[in-house]
Structure 1
Amino acid sequence: MQAIRLSRFGAPDVLQPVELPVPVPSAGEALIRVRAAGVNYFEVLMRQDRYAVTPDLPMVPGVEAAGVVEAFGPGAAGPAPGTRVAAPLFAMGRAGGYADYVTAEAAALVPLPDGLSFEAGAALMVQGLTALHLLRRSPPQGKSILVNAAAGGVGSLLVQLARSAGARQVIAAGGSPEKLDLARFLGADAAVDYRSTGWVDQVLAATAGAGVDIAYDLVGGPQTAACLGALAPAGELVCAAMGRFELGKREIEALLGRNQSLKGFALLPLLTPGTLYADLGDLFVQAAAGALKVVIGGRFPLARAAEAHESLQSRRNVGKVVLVP
């Protein structure tokens, strides 16, 4: 089978196609023929050895796989062979999705509804669960919110789910006119270009000077302090940019003086086997019914994984980037 191997850290071209044996499922495992694998920004950081955890090399990256059950290992129980499924490898502490085949815990597979594509199934795992848990941790009902990187994989879902959850006002921030148009299409009331010097003032103007009640920062870096400037007194800044934020003493003092709060976010500690299955099932049903639009911004053949990483790294993409056979 074809797989993408990461043998050393560096630029996108360190992701090399290789031929590997098809894995044999062990006890309790299923063999999945991968039809779509999700590509995540944290994998870009991991490839550069800039992520919080340094992986052991060599490895086959990829923590989200959607495909078809091919076979079972001894004693495994799960969806029957031939069933279309999502394999949330990240919840199993596994990788290996950048390949034609992958093994996964059979009991953790989630069937894909009829009408839901493999690409959408891959897109709704890390990004869908992140958006869902962000809203559970900081409910938007009746509030004005800011979604930074609103046209990305998480942001495009967060805009829609926040609207469904009763947000009073959804303001989207993005990095191009096309991204802002997409955010408006998905339900944002207003959209601002965070590359412009006055974008925080535009957010304040959209809230009649009050600021937003919740700012979901999905970018980090200097954008975190900018989001803080758009926040109302007693507002909440939620940082979901994997710790890559920049707040100095002055910003922290201002936050405290305005009765504002800073909340961190990490997905994995929030997941349990029972809720994971139910939450993914719910997201899949919503998407299959058309109630939740899944934006696939880039489809790359498996052998071109390096190009997929380059697309994410340059922030050219909208929505989710996936690898396909």
Structure 2
Amino acid sequence: MKVIEAASFGGPEVLVAREEPEPNAGPGEVVVRVAAVDTLFVDTRIRSGWGGEFFGITAPYIPGGGLSGEVIAAGDGVPEDLVGSRVATYTNGLGGKGGYAERVAVSADAVIPLPDEVGLNDAASLIHDGVTGMRLMENVAIKPGERVLVVGATGGMGILLVQLARAAGAQVIAAARGAEKLKLARELGADVTVDYSEPGWAERVLEATGGHGADVVLDGVGDEIGRAAFDATAEGGRFSAHGATISGFTELDPQEVERRRVTLYGIGDVQLDLAERQRLAAAALAEVAAGRLRPVIGKTFPLSDAAGAHTAIENRAVIGKVLILP
């Protein structure tokens, strides 16, 4: 079967195709025929060599930490009726690799059955972003009428956060780059949109909240954009610095955070074990099945063009999710 391997750390060109033996289902495992692989900005960062202290991945490796597909074989100790099921699953435990392949063997305990109403592409798009989005909503506990700033509002997770915050009864302020992205944010339910590529955008957030600032900030971008978003956070607000799509996570002065009585959440607050991921994934899938949540898949790429998928993400050439379809 075909797999895509990052032969070394570097640019998208290090992603190369090779052949590998078909996987077998060992005891407690299933083999999944892969339909769609979630592709994240962080995957491109890991491929470039960033984040070794967080993820412990060494090259060469096969990227891809989450996917959807159909169970085609079951090993000893796995109920046979699981064969033929449509599932979403994590690969390699929670190690974040192995999914850029036509078929994968995974622990049967890692698979999440899909509701009939949820397509395989939508399911793959939720395996990470849906889980993190649902946990963020639990962390910040939005109350009706609060002002919520979503930074990076048209990325895969930002799209979900705009909808979830709106459903919680918040006034949603969506921050993104460019008119096309802001238009999508409004279509998803944002009350106010601001372009964070323009100088003084944080002041416009303050203006939109009558000078109060955002009660909740969900920062999916980081670095100087996140720092500006902190300036627009209300006294006593909540700030989640979970994103790093520029060069790093938002770094804040602890004394300033304390002085302004801001409750701070970071990437550690969305590091979850398998049971929690499955619980939150099931919750996100249920929201999609009920029609209350809509992923936006901007573009798909064949497995053979995984490098193209990474290039599109790095160039910010796609609005919404990027998926790889073996």
Do they fold alike, i.e. is TM over 0.5?
yes
Letter in 2 for 1:262: L
Report sequence identity in percent: 37
Q: 1:208 — aligned with what? A: 210
The 3-state SS of whatever aligns with 1:270 is: coil
Unaligned runs of 5+ residues in structure 1 are none
Q: 1:318 — aligned with what? A: 319
Q: 2:14 — aligned with what? A: 14
Letter in 2 for 1:155: G
Q: 2:299 — aligned with what? A: 298
Q: How does 1:186-201 map to 2 (within 5 A)?
A: 186-201=188-203
Q: How does 1:211-226 map to 2 (within 5 A)?
A: 211-226=213-228
Q: 2:29 — aligned with what? A: 29
Q: Deviations over 1:229-288 (max 9, x none)?
A: 11111222210025923436xx54443332223221336643352x43333223212213
Q: Which moved more, 1:257-266 or 1:98-107?
A: 257-266
Residue 4 (structure 1) shift: 0.5
Return the alpha-carbon distance in structure 1 between the equivalents of residues 240 and 295 of structure 2.
23
The 3-state SS of whatever aligns with 1:122 is: helix
The 3-state SS of whatever aligns with 1:222 is: helix
Q: How does 1:149-298 map to 2 (within 5 A)?
A: 149-167=152-170, 169-241=171-243, 244-247=248-251, 251-266=253-268, 269-273=271-275, 275-298=276-299
Return the alpha-carbon distance in structure 1 between the equivalents of residues 95 and 80 of structure 2.
19
Given the superposition, is the C-alpha separation of residues 150 and 246 from structure 1 closer, same or farther in structure 2, using an over 3 Å criterion?
A: closer
Return the alpha-carbon distance in structure 2 between the equivalents of residues 271 and 252 of structure 1.
28
Residue 57 (structure 1) shift: 2.3
Given the superposition, is the C-alpha separation of residues 211 and 145 from structure 1 closer, same or farther in structure 2, using an over 3 Å criterion?
A: same
The 3-state SS of whatever aligns with 2:211 is: coil
Q: Which moved more, 1:113-122 or 1:8-17?
A: 113-122
CA contact (8 A) 1:156 1:295 kept: yes
Q: Deviations over 1:129-183 (max 9, x none)?
A: 111001111111132110000000110001111122232x110000111111111
Letter in 1 for 2:298: G
Residue 297 (structure 1) shift: 1.1
Q: 1:47 — aligned with what? A: 47
Letter in 2 for 1:149: G
Return the alpha-carbon distance in structure 1 between the equivalents of residues 161 and 96 of structure 2.
26
Residue 92 (structure 1) shift: 3.7
Return the alpha-carbon distance in structure 1 between the equivalents of residues 250 and 71 of structure 2.
44
Return the alpha-carbon distance in structure 1 between the equivalents of residues 154 and 184 of structure 2.
6
CA contact (8 A) 2:63 2:96 kept: no
Q: Deviations over 1:206-231 (max 9, x none)?
A: 10111101111111111121011111
Residue 107 (structure 1) shift: 2.4
The 3-state SS of whatever aligns with 2:159 is: helix
Q: How many residues are paired up?
A: 321
CA contact (8 A) 2:36 2:124 kept: yes
CA contact (8 A) 2:36 2:69 kept: yes
Return the alpha-carbon distance in structure 1 between the equivalents of residues 106 and 176 of structure 2.
36
Q: 1:116 — aligned with what? A: 118
The 3-state SS of whatever aligns with 1:286 is: helix
Given the superposition, is the C-alpha separation of residues 283 and 36 from structure 1 closer, same or farther in structure 2, using an over 3 Å criterion?
A: same
Letter in 1 for 2:112: V
Unaligned runs of 5+ residues in structure 2 are none
Return the alpha-carbon distance in structure 1 between the equivalents of residues 243 and 272 of structure 2.
16
Q: Deviations over 1:1-25 (max 9, x none)?
A: 1110011010011011111111112
Return the alpha-carbon distance in structure 1 between the equivalents of residues 285 and 299 of structure 2.
20
RMSD: 1.9
Q: 2:147 — aligned with what? A: 144
CA contact (8 A) 1:145 1:170 kept: yes
Q: Which moved more, 1:8-17 or 1:227-236?
A: 227-236
Given the superposition, is the C-alpha separation of residues 310 and 283 from structure 1 closer, same or farther in structure 2, using an over 3 Å criterion?
A: same
Residue 85 (structure 1) shift: 0.8
Q: Give the structure-2-normalised TM-score.
A: 0.93
Given the superposition, is the C-alpha separation of residues 187 and 286 from structure 1 closer, same or farther in structure 2, using an over 3 Å criterion?
A: same
